Amino acid sequence: MALTEKTRAEMREIMARYPQARSGLLPMLHLVQSEEGYVTPEGIEMCAAELGITAAEVTGVVTFYTMYKRRAMGKHHVGVCTNSLCAIMGGDAIFAQLKDHLGVGNDQTTPDGQITLEHIECQAACDFAPVLTIDWEFFDNQTPGSAIDLMNDLIANREVKSTRGPVITSWRDNERLFAGFADGKVNEGPAAGEASLLGLKLAKERGDSIPANPGADA
Amino acid sequence: MATITPVLTAYWDEPDAFTYAGYTRHNGYQASRKALTTMQPEDVIQTVKDSGLRGRGGAGFPTGMKWGFIPQGDNKPHYFVVNADESEPGTCKDIPLMMANPHVLVEGVIIGAYAIRSNHAFIYIRGEVPHVLRRVQAAVAEAYANGELGKNIHGSGYDLELTVHAGAGAYICGEETALLDSLEGYRGQPRLRPPFPAVAGLYACPTVVNNVESVASVPSIIANGIEWFGKFGTEKSKGFTLYSLSGHVKNPGQIEAPLGITLRELLDLAGGMREGSTLKFWTPGGSSTPILTADHLDVPLDYESVAEAGSMLGTKALQIFDQTTSVVRCVLRWTEFYKHESCGKCTPCREGTWWLQQIMERIEQGKGTEEDIEKLLDLCDNIMGRSFCALGDGATSPITSAIEYFRDEFIAGTHTPAWELFPYEASALFAGANA
């Protein structure tokens, strides 16, 4: 894959969002990943040229951040949270069974190029534990069985929908979103998941008076 | 009986809660209009100071005071930055808030930026949450389209640009100076302070960095006043906040309640522990806050009381673990996290977390030595307070507190693997989980 002048134009669009162009580097690297499937040497060169810095300076940034990948990724990125809480609630078992089912180790891609599996850190969804992500979208309250079903659906290109988000397309599509380009999927999924509504539902059931607030109908 | 006070969460159950229409149906953006058209910036700062609002991101620093540190009349650009890099293990409040009600954050940004005379604000969101990013991007676009952002907002003469920025997966970027380096397009490593961001922050200009929930709490204060806000909470910890319950409770989730509620009350609300289980240990505010035990069920969860109990209120991320859980396993996994996320800038944290992990690993495997506990404590002593930023300190909290309360389990780690002492299957939510 070669980067095009369209990519260069979009990089400049990103740079223009900031008072200083270099602030655009992180989203520019996300854009490179969406175009190339990982951070390629060519992508690094283009970022460096646009920002007037060296390729080494760009590379120094790339290696710092976990979301930037230095080799070709599968169509989908599957992350299993194995930070303490998710691990204990079953995340360790889910990760072990997915490795076994897919025949890959951590940070490896299935031979058909469909899935790159990685264990990931806390995703800020602890009240939905155990959690996994597909292309970084939330899949809440997982079990080994539900996770394996999801993998089979991904491999067979069947529709897979996030529990609190959109229908899955690809890791690269979401990398474009991280670069700051909206994808029109904002209305998919609920406003809030069940666990997020725990207190609100209790307050309504118990008849707690909801305090006046700027959202309150005067 | 404890009260629940849904303010930020009040309309999360409405299907269009995240849209401009949904937000303005409940008088959204009235507070920012009020501030911009009827209040002077210094009056806004004074109101937030007087309200007693304290930072909800962990440290609990008074929000209004932070704003007051911004020099005025200095002819430099000022920047208002929202720290939406929620990554502290256990912490899960800002993500649902931004997903369900991104407009309350945008409205808070408008008020805060106006108060510190900033014309460009940023929301730095951790990268790994695409759907949250969509919701915030769309909210900002809608706010522009409706004249809440942009030039001469509602005829006030005030201009504000708001840029949404996605990170790329680095816990350290939740540290405010590391966040600023990252936002400038560099490796996210913390900066030496002083100078503080209020003097030399983004692009070396005066900058406020506030947590999502802190900023989102501002519109209700401006709209309803400080007396209203002071009706909730305690003398020194005023207001309401999001408590996030996770782990071995019957109904995990978010409960918005006045500061000072206890874990016992929150557990009651969450239906108690899961079937047949008893509380063993918990974190009051994420993995960096020293763990507490069942002895602390009645500690009021406000800034002062939790500190008195030897921990920190932190992010109010209540991770609840029952009697099936190996504290060694749990702490090891946090230690691995800190080692992975250490930015490498300072030696105590970079090297120390590396050694901590190795020792914790062999204790989990039942291969610890008699010296290991003292070695852990010695290492922690050399990291705590000697690291460049709070990440290093945070790495020591789970270890030192776990040894304080569960030393026997660490001693057992000299002869018996943790998975034999506490079969891991028993902790999981489903059967057959002997990973």
**What is the least distance, in Å, from the CA of B167 to any CA of chain A?**
7
Q: Which amino acid is at B85?
A: D
Q: How far apart are CA B48 and CA B239, in angstroms?
A: 12
Domain count, chain A: 2
Q: How far apart are CA B416 and CA B423, in angstroms?
A: 12
Q: Which pLDDT belongs to residue B98?
A: 98
Q: Which pLDDT belongs to residue B433?
A: 66
Say what the pTM is. Answer: 0.97
What does the pLDDT profile of chain B (435 residues) look like in tens digits? 688 999 999 999 999 999 999 999 999 999 999 999 999 999 999 999 999 999 999 989 999 999 999 999 999 999 999 999 999 999 999 999 999 999 999 999 999 999 999 999 999 999 999 999 999 999 999 999 999 999 999 999 999 999 999 999 999 999 999 999 999 999 999 999 999 999 999 999 999 999 999 999 999 999 999 999 999 999 999 999 999 999 999 999 999 999 999 999 999 999 999 999 999 999 999 999 999 999 999 999 999 999 999 999 999 999 999 999 999 999 999 999 999 999 999 999 999 999 999 999 999 999 999 999 999 999 999 999 999 999 999 999 999 999 999 999 999 999 999 999 999 999 999 986 654
User: Each residue of B259-297: b (16+ CB within 10 Å) or e?
Assistant: bbbbbebbbebbeebbeebebbbbbbbbbbbbbbeeebe
CATH code that applies to domain B20-230 = 3.40.50.11540
CATH of the domain at A158: 3.40.30.10
Token pair for A148: 């394996």
Q: Which pLDDT belongs to residue B56?
A: 96
Put simply, whether A107 touches B (Cβ < 8 Å) is no
Q: Which pLDDT belongs to residue B1?
A: 64
- The answer to whether residues A147 and A86 belong to one domain is yes
* Nearest C-alpha in A relative to B131: A165
Q: How far apart are CA B316 and CA B288, in angstroms?
A: 11
- The answer to whether residues A35 and A91 belong to one domain is no
Q: Which residues of B touch A130 (CB under 8 A)?
A: 428-429
Contact B429 A178 (CB under 8 A): no
Nearest to A199 among B77, B163, B253 (CB): B253
- The answer to whether residues A13 and A98 belong to one domain is no
* A46 part of a folded domain: yes
* Nearest C-alpha in B relative to A79: B128
Put simply, whether B269 touches A (Cβ < 8 Å) is yes
Q: Which pLDDT belongs to residue B2?
A: 82
- The answer to whether residues A80 and A57 belong to one domain is no
Q: Which pLDDT belongs to residue A214?
A: 45
* Nearest C-alpha in A relative to B3: A208
Nearest to B28 among A93, A179, A214 (CB): A214
Q: How far apart are CA B166 and CA A173, in angstroms?
A: 15
Contact A129 B247 (CB under 8 A): yes
Put simply, whether B14 touches A (Cβ < 8 Å) is yes
Give the best residue of A14, A17, A26 to mutate against chain B (max B CB count within 10 A).
A26
**What residues pair up with B286 in beta bridges, in sequence order?**
none
Whether the Cβ atoms of residue B313 and residue B351 lie closer than 8 Å to each other:
no
Residues of chain B with CATH 3.10.20.600: 240-322
Token pair for A202: 């209790």
Whether the Cβ atoms of residue A136 and residue B130 lie closer than 8 Å to each other:
yes
* A192 part of a folded domain: no
Contact A61 B186 (CB under 8 A): yes
* A102 part of a folded domain: yes
CATH code that applies to domain B327-427 = 1.20.1440.230
In CATH terms, B240-322 corresponds, of 3.40.960.10, 3.30.429.10, 3.10.20.600, 3.40.1010.20, to 3.10.20.600
Contact A192 B126 (CB under 8 A): no
Token pair for B4: 């629940």
- The answer to whether residues A87 and A155 belong to one domain is yes
* Nearest C-alpha in A relative to B16: A191
* A212 part of a folded domain: no
Residues of chain B with CATH 1.20.1440.230: 327-427
Contact A143 B429 (CB under 8 A): yes
Contact A121 B251 (CB under 8 A): no
- The answer to whether residues A28 and A108 belong to one domain is no
Q: No. of H helices and E strands in chain A?
A: 9, 5
Whether the Cβ atoms of residue B363 and residue B356 lie closer than 8 Å to each other:
no
Do you know the residue count of chain A?
218
Q: Which residues of B touch A194 (CB under 8 A)?
A: 253
Contact B127 A210 (CB under 8 A): no
Range of the domain at A46: 5-62
Whether the Cβ atoms of residue A164 and residue A190 lie closer than 8 Å to each other:
yes
- The answer to whether residues A12 and A45 belong to one domain is yes
* A137 part of a folded domain: yes
% residues pLDDT > 90 (chain A)? 93
Q: Which pLDDT belongs to residue B432?
A: 67
- Which is it for strands B161-166 and B120-125: parallel, antiparallel or unpaired? parallel
Contact A138 B247 (CB under 8 A): no
pLDDT < 50 regions, chain A? 214-218
Q: Which pLDDT belongs to residue A215?
A: 44
- Per the listing, tokens 């007037």 go with A52
Contact A61 B138 (CB under 8 A): no
Name residues whose C-beta falls within 8 Å of residue B296's C-beta, 6 or more positions apart in sequence. Answer: B263, B282, B309
Task: Please give the interface size between A and B, counted as residue pairs whose CB atoms are below 8 Å apart.
Answer: 323
- The answer to whether residues A127 and A98 belong to one domain is yes
Contact B255 A199 (CB under 8 A): yes
- The answer to whether residues A51 and A92 belong to one domain is no
Name residues whose C-beta falls within 8 Å of residue A9's C-beta, 6 or more positions apart in sequence. Answer: none
- The answer to whether residues A10 and A58 belong to one domain is yes
Q: How far apart are CA B67 and CA B78, in angstroms?
A: 11
Scan residues 124-183 of A and list those with Cβ closer than 8 Å to B.
124-130, 133, 135-138, 143-144, 162, 164-166, 174, 177-180, 182-183
Scan residues 14-53 of A and list those with Cβ closer than 8 Å to B.
17-20, 22-27, 29-30, 51
**Mind listing the pLDDT tens digit for each residue in A34-60?**
999 999 999 999 999 999 999 999 999
DSSP state at residue A90: I
Put simply, whether B431 touches A (Cβ < 8 Å) is no
Q: Which pLDDT belongs to residue A163?
A: 98
Q: Which pLDDT belongs to residue B204?
A: 98
Residue A99, helix vs strand vs coil: helix
CATH of the domain at A32: 1.10.10.1590
Residues of chain B with CATH 3.40.50.11540: 20-230
- Per the listing, tokens 């208002």 go with B80
Q: How far apart are CA B368 and CA A44, in angstroms?
A: 45
DSSP state at residue B300: -
